[in-house]
Amino acid sequence: MIIIMRPDATEEQIGQVTDRLKRSGFGVHLSKGAERTVIGAIGDRSAIQLETLQMLPGVSEIVPIRKPYKLVSREFRKEDTVVELPGGVRIGAGQKLAIMAGPCSVEGEKEFLEAAAAVKKAGANVLRGGAFKPRTSPYAFQGLGEQGLKFMAEARRQTGLPFVTEVMDTRDVELVARYADMLQVGARNMANFNLLKEVGRAKKPILLKRGPGSTVQEWLMSAEYILSEGNKQVVLCERGIRTFETITRNTVDINAVPVVKKLTHLPVIVDPSHGTGEWDLVPAIARAAVAAGADGLMIEVHPRPDEAKSDGAQSLKPETFAGLMAELKLVAKAVGRPL
């Protein structure tokens, strides 16, 4: 349930309510909005008498949250969450679009620096690259591990752009968080609840991709895991789901963008690269995502896609990416969104 405090409620009154909830065994989460403070109380509602809670000074209203996800729900927090990365990148709430771009995998220092410089020149504001790769085959390139993180850190130094990279294992969260500006939980790990709890305790923003076979509600429950551990800096990423259609790698659920915006306060971005699996389809879906109200995009870009160690077929060449950025500016302008 949520306890909505009166706009004039004092800190002391808020403290009194949270103490009472904690004594009754509730997990307590505060959301301080511009107009009012909302207290999220997660636990067994029969453990407290709502009438007595209602009588505490400063309490305006007690509202049950019927949805299984609580902290990520719009009921809990009306205002859009803004997720902040170093370099002044602010994702969500109508801010400038976040364009995360780079190769699927970090393949070497020279290669990554080249890609990073190219995407920066074209206007990306976040670098992407995988050092720990979730590959379908155990014989495929698995990523450079910590070495790859070091190369990305050097690219950040040279370009001034923050970077996002995937973490696949609870044992690597501390390591990856030491280097990266944002941790990606990949589609295959969306329902790895131990990993979700671990990144929920990390002090870095999280990019949570939607599982290819997951409903929006399951995806939001995964986000709830992260928030329930105290990390409120979560960006959702629609990257295509598996449907009966096999002509493309995945099917981008464009509905998910406005649906998620309605149900949660978290920012949502779209990954048209994994969503389509084919580079020449990427621009159309990228434009559609921005038109649908996404807060950003994740796009794979490789200087020589035919030499890529992973996902070359869906990677844009830097010049194609630059052309797409010019088109996106027009779409963003049409929907009143800075880029």
Residues that bind ligand PEP (CB under 6 A): 104, 130, 134, 186-188, 209, 239, 271, 274
187 binds, among ligand PEP, Mn ion, none (CB under 5 to 8 A by kind): ligand PEP
How far is it, in rounded angstroms, from Cα 92 to Cα 114? 29
> Nearest approach, Cβ of 133 to Mn ion (angstroms)?
8
Are 262 and 78 within 8 A, CB to CB? no
Q: With respect to ligand PEP, which residue has the nearer C-beta, 209 or 287?
A: 209
Kindly list the strands in the beta sheet with 37-42, ordered across the sheet, starting from the edge strand earlier in the chain. 27-32, 37-42, 2-5, 59-63
Selection from Mn ion, ligand PEP, none that 107 binds (CB < 5 to 8 A by kind) is: none
Smallest separation, CB 273 to Mn ion (Å): 7
The residue number with the shortest CB distance to ligand PEP is 186
| Residue 224, contacted partner among ligand PEP, Mn ion, none, CB below 5-8 A by kind | none
User: What's the CA gap between 78 and 34, in Å, rounded?
Assistant: 10
Query: 239 is in the binding site of which of ligand PEP, Mn ion, none (Cβ under 5 to 8 A by kind)?
Result: ligand PEP
Q: Which of 136, 119, 172 is nearest to 310 (CA)?
A: 136
CB of 130 to ligand PEP, least distance (A): 5
Residue closer to ligand PEP by CB (options 172, 271) is 271
Residue 66: CB atoms within 10 Å: 9
> Distance (Å, rounded) from C-alpha 113 to C-alpha 138?
27
User: Shortest gap between Cβ of 315 and ligand PEP (angstroms)?
Assistant: 10
Nearest to 76 by CA among 249, 293, 266: 266
Nearer to Mn ion, 17 or 236 (CB): 236
The binding site for Mn ion (CB under 5 A) comprises 104, 311
CA distances from 102 to 72, 122, 164, 166, 255 (A): 29, 11, 10, 13, 26
Residues 13 and 40: beta-carbon distance below 8 Å: no
Residue 186's binding partner out of ligand PEP, Mn ion, none, with CB under 5 to 8 Å set by partner kind: ligand PEP
